[in-house]
Amino acid sequence: MGDCDLGFDESSCRTDPPNRFTPSPVLITSENIIHGKPHPQPFLLGAERLGIQPEQCAAFEDSLAGLQSVWAAGCQAVEVKTAHSVPHNLGQIPALEDYRSIRISPRYDHFFLSFQ
């Protein structure tokens, strides 16, 4: 599908050793929030617990409510298409069919997200 240079600083992409993506230890579940999607609280709380700004976060979502939540929080959205995906008017959002084609690589002080 394309490339997406999100330009986030390395606090949002821990690479240790270089070129190996390490997921964040932060997990937000329904027990941690009062307002669920499409409210921005899940993503705002995630960014807060990571110690970064929402604009530095990339969120992968497969539902309209999830995309609305990401957008409302000010995060960068990547839409994951499914059989249940519905058309939306949220604008041009990078999209992928599944996670198998995604590649994340460090680039200077941020990371580069690419997918086909």
- Nearest one of 26, 22, 1 to 10, comparing CA atoms: 22
Q: pLDDT digit string (tens) for 90-116?
A: 888 888 888 888 888 887 777 788 876
Q: Whole-angstrom Cα distance, residue 112 to residue 89?
A: 26
User: To the nearest whole number, what is the mean pLDDT of the chain?
Assistant: 80
Q: At 37, is the secondary structure helix, strand, or coil? A: coil
pTM for this structure?
0.72
Q: CB 89: neighbour CB atoms within 10 A?
A: 4
Counts of helices then strands in the chain (DSSP H, E): 2, 6
Q: Whole-angstrom Cα distance, residue 95 to residue 62?
A: 10
Q: At 55, is the secondary structure helix, strand, or coil? A: helix
